[in-house]
Every structure is written in C-alpha cells, then in structure tokens.
Amino acid sequence: MHRLQIDNISKKYGAFKALDNVSLTLSNGIFGLLGPNGAGKSTLMRILTTLQPFDTGSIKYGEISWKEMHKVQKIIGYLPQHFSLYKHLSVFECLKHISILKGVRKAELQEQVYNALEQVNLLQIKDQKIGKLSGGMLRRVGIAQAIIGNPQIIVVDEPTAGLDPEERIRFRNILHTIGRNNIIIISSHIVEDIETLCNEVAILHKGKILGKGTINSLKMNAENVIWSTKVEKNELFALQNEVKIISQQSKGDYYEVRYLGNTQRNPHDQLQEPTLEDAYFYFMQKVDNSQC
Ligand SMILES: Nc1ncnc2c1ncn2[C@@H]1O[C@H](COP(=O)(O)OP(=O)(O)OP(=O)(O)O)[C@@H](O)[C@H]1O
C-alpha cells in the first residue's frame, strides 16, 4: 500500500493564488477537504486528477509522479461536482462506454461494469435510461464510473450535494466500503459529511491549509473556547457584535446560542465539548483575526 504524497503545491490563476504551498500525506481511507466556497478545494482535486497543471511542488504515489500524466490517469477515478452522462444510454451501456474510454480490456468489460454496479447497489436498474434516474441514483452511477478500472485513488467533489437525507446516508455507506481498500479524497463545505465519513481532514481556506489531522485532533484545538448561552430574542443582535456565533436555536421566547470566545461572557454560560464544526469556525476566526 502506497501513500499519496502532496508536497508544497501552489497554483495561481493570473495573479490570484488559488493554492499556496499545500502539503498532505494520504493513506487508504477517506480523507476530507473542508473549506468554504472558493477555498481551493476543486482546484486541488482537478490537479490530483491531472485535469489541471500546478505551478510548483510535487505529487507522488509510490514511484508514480504527477509529471507522468498517463500513468496517473490509470490510478485515479474522479466524480466531479457537476456530473452528467449520456442521457439516452442505459446505465449499463453508459458504463461500458466509459470502461472502453478508460482502456479496460474487452474481455474484462462486462465483469468490470457488473462489479462496479454491484458495489453501488444498482445492478437492478442497469437497463434504465440515464435520463430517467433520480439525483441519488445518478450520483451512484457517478461513483460506479469512478471505480471502473480499479483505481487506487478516488476523488469525489462535494459527494452528497443535492441528495435527499436517505440517499445521502446510502451514498456515505458506499464510500465507506470503497474506502477500505483505496484512498478516497472528498471535498465538502458540509461539516456533517466530513465528520461522518472521514478518517482525516484538512481545513482549507484561501488556498492555505489551516489545520490537518484526525477529527479528534482538530477538535482539540477548539477546547476551552466553545460556550453555550441563552439570550432573549432582542439580545441576539448585540451578542453577534460581541462574539463569533457558531449556531443558534430558537426555543420559543429565547435563543440557545453556541459561540466562540476566549473568555466566558457571562457566569451562566457553559463550556462545551468542541465539535468539528466548532473547530472549523475556530480556525477560520483565527485566520480572520490575524488579517485584521
Ligand atoms: N479557471 C479559473 N480562473 C480564475 N480563477 C479561478 C479559476 N478557477 C477557480 N478560480 C478561483 O480560485 C478560487 C478557488 O476556486 P475553487 O473552485 O478551487 O474553490 P472551491 O473551494 O472548490 O470552491 P467551491 O466550493 O465554490 O467550488 C476561487 O476564488 C475561484 O474564483
């Protein structure tokens, strides 16, 4: 088993730095890239899939370097954020076509497609037209096409975007199973996706890695700074100017608020165990403060 070694990757669009010295080491399992819109997640994913070149740095998987695109393409599967397929083809025809494009040998075509469909639990709809599938099914066909050819690395941009809660859980379970024997990289701004799926996470913001590690190690950064408080509805606005609010829940005539702060704002406020979402806010706040 090899590791995917990303060292000091930088990428500019004109004068704008979309990725700034990004370094990560990934092994089998699901790795999450968490960051707000525009953080550089898709840029990094496109670079990993060789769809986009990078300016400086190096990427390696064992002996394979990202300078040798044709070798990399054999070990990478990709499910982009906006994924669509030939609507008039059946699921099976479509996957067969993709297998041919991926260079799967003729003798293995049928087996590869059946195997992929089995893994995403779609064998029973193999003859349905792509155009007739639900969003969740289409996303699963997307994963099937990504795993054809048995790539060691699978890149999934915004895995559960647009899926209903049931499909979201089904899709996460599929990724969990595939992640046992492969490196899966997912990007998301949905903290719950990352928290339920990933072994390790990197928080990306404005092209830079703010924090990386296991979910527990990231949470530890936000220890002793997460508080909960109760405020009247008319006090909420003033509180917003005082502290960084992470979440608020209406409880009838008052709000229960979770906030980030170095000190207790009020003796009744209670210190909370940090969640990944808290840690995410903590890192964002830290960088915003340092730029003030
Ligand atoms: N081809 C391009 N030319 C110029 N700027 C670009 C290009 N692609 C992306 N950018 C800019 O680079 C930054 C990073 O974009 P990227 O799509 O990688 O972010 P992201 O984290 O994936 O965000 P989102 O979740 O919105 O897709 C953004 O500010 C974006 O506007």
Tens digits of per-residue pLDDT, 2-33?
A: 899 999 999 999 999 999 999 999 999 999 99
- Residues 184-199 have pLDDT tens digits of 999 988 888 898 899 8
CA of 128 to the centre of ligand 1 (A): 35
CA of 272 to the centre of ligand 1 (A): 34
Same domain, 196 and 141: yes
Same domain, 138 and 276: no
Same domain, 112 and 166: yes
Domain count along the chain: 2
CATH of the domain at 192: 3.40.50.300
Same domain, 180 and 251: no
Same domain, 99 and 239: no
Which among 214, 236, 262 is the end of a domain? 214
Same domain, 113 and 194: yes
Evaluate if pTM is beyond 0.90: no
Same domain, 249 and 134: no
Instruction: Report residues whose beta carbon is within 6 angstroms of any ligand 1 atom.
Output: 13, 16, 18, 35, 37-43, 189
Residue 226's domain spans which residues?
Answer: 220-291
Same domain, 140 and 268: no
- Ligand 1, atom 25, lies closest to the CA of 37
Residue 204 CA: which ligand 1 atom is closest?
21
CA of 203 to the centre of ligand 1 (A): 16
Same domain, 164 and 178: yes
pLDDT over 70 at 292, yes or no: no
pLDDT over 80 at 142, yes or no: yes
- Residues 30-75 have pLDDT tens digits of 999 999 888 999 999 999 999 999 999 999 999 999 999 999 998 9
pLDDT, mean over the chain: 91
Q: 121-125: which pairs have CB atoms within 8 A and are 24 or more residues apart?
A: 121/170, 121/174, 122/91, 125/91
Looking at residue 271, what is its pLDDT? Answer: 95
Give me the mean pLDDT over the 196-223 stretch. Answer: 94
Looking at residue 265, what is its pLDDT? Answer: 86
Same domain, 170 and 274: no
The region of weakest confidence among 138-147, 160-169, 200-209 is 160-169
Which among 198, 214, 230 is the end of a domain? 214
Same domain, 263 and 144: no
- Ligand 1, atom 1, lies closest to the CA of 13
Same domain, 119 and 250: no
CA of 158 to the centre of ligand 1 (A): 14
